[in-house]
A and B are shown apart, each in its own frame.
Chain A
Amino acid sequence: MCLAIPARIVTIEEHRMSSVDIMGVSRKVSLDLVPEAVVGDFVLVHAGFALQVIDEETATETLDLLKTLPFFAEDEGLVAEGA
C-alpha cells in the first residue's frame, strides 16, 4: 500500500502537475507535496503524487558505507562460500 517508486521529473505543467519518467514509462504526477522539486530531480512517487525528492548523494554514500563493512575485506571467501 505504501509502495513508492523513483521517477525523474521531465516537465512541470500548471497546477504543479508534472510528467515523470519511471524506467522509460511516462506518467502524470502531482508535485503538490514537494514544492522544492525541479525538472531533472528524482522523486519518490506514490499513487499519483511525488512524496519526496530523492537525495542521490546520500544514496551513494550509504552504499559506499556498507562496502566498508569488515566482511567485504574477505570478499573472496564469501564468493567461494556462495558458489
Chain B
Amino acid sequence: MKLNDRVQNDIVILEPKGKIMGGPDASLLHDKLHDYIEQDMKKVIIDLGKVDWMNSTGLGILISGLTTIRNNNGELKLANLTNKVQSLLTITKLVSVFEAYDSIDEAIESFK
C-alpha cells in the first residue's frame, strides 16, 4: 500500500492506494493519521478511491482514527468508497458510524 497525504486549508486529506491488509503498510496509514491528530488537526478526510480492498485491520485503523479525533473534538470522514469497501462497511454495520461522500469536494464541503 502507498500513501499520499496533503493539507488543504485546515483539512487533512489522506489517500491510501492499494490493499490494506495489515503489516508495515497498514501501520503507515495508522501512524500518519495519528501524527496529524497529534498536531491538533481536527478535520480529516480519507479518500478510499484507490483502495482495492481492506480487511478488518483497515477497518480497525479507520475506527481508531475516528475515536481519537473525536476525543480531540475533531471529525474524520470518508470519500470515494469503492464497491468492495462500501460492501465491507455495510456488512460490519460501520456504514452507520462513518460519514461518507462520493467525492473529496463533497467531503470538504461537509466540513463547512
Indicate, yes or no, whether A interacts with B: no
